[in-house]
C-alpha cells in the first residue's frame, strides 16, 4: 500500500495502523446543516488514507504524498500551515475536548478529486480523528469523532461549516445515504440503489471555485441567524408556519428562510420516495432544490446553472448544485442509457461559452471511515 511505503521511507518503521475516511457528495439538504436541519449526503469511493504511529515526545510529523511534509509540535499546533492545519486542528480539538492525545507520525495519501467540493478536507480530518481514537484508545464513537473533526474546522481552521461533511465521512455506508438530523445528531442510513432502477448518479465537476465562496458562506449563516432571532426561534429548523414567517420578513432574510424551510421538506420527501422505491421521482426534487439555491439562497453561479440546465436538457431526471456553492459540483440523476447524451450536452454547453470542459464522475455510495490495517 502506497501510504505504508511512504510512511516507512519517511519515518524508518512500519506504521501502527492505516485508517481511511471518504469524501462525500450531498444528494439533498443544502445549507440546512447549520440551521439544525436535515441532510442526505453519502460517502464516496475516494478518500484519505492515513498511516500513523504514536510518539511520546509531543512531536507531530505530518507528511502528505500530495502536498509535502510539515513538522508541528503539540504545544505549537497553531504554527501548522496550509493543508497541515486540518490534521493539526484534529489534535487540537481532541485535546481541547479533554482527550489524552500525544504526538504522532502520520503519512497521508488522498484521492478525493481536488477542488470539486467533495470534502477532501473533511476526509482528512476524519481519517486523522479515527487514527488518534484508536492509537490513543480514546473510545470515541463515529459521531463523536465527526463532531471533533468539525470543531477542528470551525475553531482551529476557521471555516464555520456545519456537521454534514464530517458526519457523512464518519457514518456513510456502502449503497446507502445518510439521513441526518443536524440538531439531535440522530441518523439512519437509507438504501440508495439507483442502479436497480437503471439510473446513475453523476457528479459534474465544474472545475471552478469562485473566490467569494468563504465570505458568502459566513454571510448566509449570519442571514439565517438574524432571521431566526427575528422570528423568535432557536434555529430556522423550528419555523413551522412558513407563510407567517415570510410575512414578517423582508429582503435577504425572507429569501433565505424560504430556502431553508422548503429544503428541509424536500429532504423528507426524498427519503419518502427512496423508501417507496420511487427513485426516478427524486429528480424533480433535485431540480426544485437547485432553483431554490439559485434564486432564494443565491449560492449558485453561471457554471453550476449551465451544467444543471444542460444535464436536464440531455435527459437527466433532475440535477442540482451540491455542497456550499459558487463552484464545485453538480449532482444529476440520469437514466443510465442517457449517460453519454447528458455528458455530451453539458460538454457542448461549456464549449459554446469557451469554458474548460467539466469532469464527470460516477457517484457510488460507499463505506464510511474505518481502519484498514
Q: Which of 40, 161, 307, 308 binds ligand GLA (CB under 6 A)?
A: 161
Q: Where are the alpha helices (DSSP H) in 232-301?
A: 242-248, 251-276, 282-295
Please give the torsion angle defined by the CA atoms of residues 351, 352, 355 and 360, in that order, rounded to the nearest 10 degrees: -40
CA distances from 370 to 144, 168, 324, 366 (A): 14, 13, 26, 12
Cell of 96: 481541547
Q: Please say which residue, 33 or 105, places its beta carbon nearer to ligand GLA.
A: 33
Piece of 5-13, 27-35, 190-198, 278-286 that binds ligand GLA (CB under 6 A):
27-35
**Which residue, 37 or 103, has its beta carbon nearer to ligand GLA?**
37
Q: Which of residues 116-155 bind ligand GLA (CB under 6 A)?
A: none
57 a catalytic residue: no
280 touches 197 (CB < 8 A): yes
**Of these, 15, 323, 327, 368, which contacts ligand GLA (CB under 6 A)?**
323
Q: Is 30 in the site for ligand GLA (CB under 6 A)?
A: yes
Question: Looking at beta carbons, which residue is closest to ligand GLA?
Answer: 161
> DSSP label at 234?
S
CB 294 within 8 A of CB 260: no
Residues 16 and 52 sit within 8 Å (Cβ to Cβ): yes
Q: How far is the CB of 339 from ligand GLA (least distance, A)?
A: 26
**Any idea how long the chain is?**
373
Q: Which is nearer to ligand GLA, 60 or 171 (CB)?
A: 171
Task: Say how many CA atoms lie within 13 Å of 113 toward its Cβ.
Answer: 21
In this chain, which stretch among 31-39, 71-79, 233-241, 307-315 interacts with ligand GLA, using CB under 6 A?
31-39
Q: Which is nearer to ligand GLA, 80 or 164 (CB)?
A: 164
Would you name the residues annotated as active-site residues? Answer: 165
- Contact residues: ligand GLA, CB under 6 A: 30-31, 33-34, 161-162, 164-165, 323-324
Amino acid at each position: 500500500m502506497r501510504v505504508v511505503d511512504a510512511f516507512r521511507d519517511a519515518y524508518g518503521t512500519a506504521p501502527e495502523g492505516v485508517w481511511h475516511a471518504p469524501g462525500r457528495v450531498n444528494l439533498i439538504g443544502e445549507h440546512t446543516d447549520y440551521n439544525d436541519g436535515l441532510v442526505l449526503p453519502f460517502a464516496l469511493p475516494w478518500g484519505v488514507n492515513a498511516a500513523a504511529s504514536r510518539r511520546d515526545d509531543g512531536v507531530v510529523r505530518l507528511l502528505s504524498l500530495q502536498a509535502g511534509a510539515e513538522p508541528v509540535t503539540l504545544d505549537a499546533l497553531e504554527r501548522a500551515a496550509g493543508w497541515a492545519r486540518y490534521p493539526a486542528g484534529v489534535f487540537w480539538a481532541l485535546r481541547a475536548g479533554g482527550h489524552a492525545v500525544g504526538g504522532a507520525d502520520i503519512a497521508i495519501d488522498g484521492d478525493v478529486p481536488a477542488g470539486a467540493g467533495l470534502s477532501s478536507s473533511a476526509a482528512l480530518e476524519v481519517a486523522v480523528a479515527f487514527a488518534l481514537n484508536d492509537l490513543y484508545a480514546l473510545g470515541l464513537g463515529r459521531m463523536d469523532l465527526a463532531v471533533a473533526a468539525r470543531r477542528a474546522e470551525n475553531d482551529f481552521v476557521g471555516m464555520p461549516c456545519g456537521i454534514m461533511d464530517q458526519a457523512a465521512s464518519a457514518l456513510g455506508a456502502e449503497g446507502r445515504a445518510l439521513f441526518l438530523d443536524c440538531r439531535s445528531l440522530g441518523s439512519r442510513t437509507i438504501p440508495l440503489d439507483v442502479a436497480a432502477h437503471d439510473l446513475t448518479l453523476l457528479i459534474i465537476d465544474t472545475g471552478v471555485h469562485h473566490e467569494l465562496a468563504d465570505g458568502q458562506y459566513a454571510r448566509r449563516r449570519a442571514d439565517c441567524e438574524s432571521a431566526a432571532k427575528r422570528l423568535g426561534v432557536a434555529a430556522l429548523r423550528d419555523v413551522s408556519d412558513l407563510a407567517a414567517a415570510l410575512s414578517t420578513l423582508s429582503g435577504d432574510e425572507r429569501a433565505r428562510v424560504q430556502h431553508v424551510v422548503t429544503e428541509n421538506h424536500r429532504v423528507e420527501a426524498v427519503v419518502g420516495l427512496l423508501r417507496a422505491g420511487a427513485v426516478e421521482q427524486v429528480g424533480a426534487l433535485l431540480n426544485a432544490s437547485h432553483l431554490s439555491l439559485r434564486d432564494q439562497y443565491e449560492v449558485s453561479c453561471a457554471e453550476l446553472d449551465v451544467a444543471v440546465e444542460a444535464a436536464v436538457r440531455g435527459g437527466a431526471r433532475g440535477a442540482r448544485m451540491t455542497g456550499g456553492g459558487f463552484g464545485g459540483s453538480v449532482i444529476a440523476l440520469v437514466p443510465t442509457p442517457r449517460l453519454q447524451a447528458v455528458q455530451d450536452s453539458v460538454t457542448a454547453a461549456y464549449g459554446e461559452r469557451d469554458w474548460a470542459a467539466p469532469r464527470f464522475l460516477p457517484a457510488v455510495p460507499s463505506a464510511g471511515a474505518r481502519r484498514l490495517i
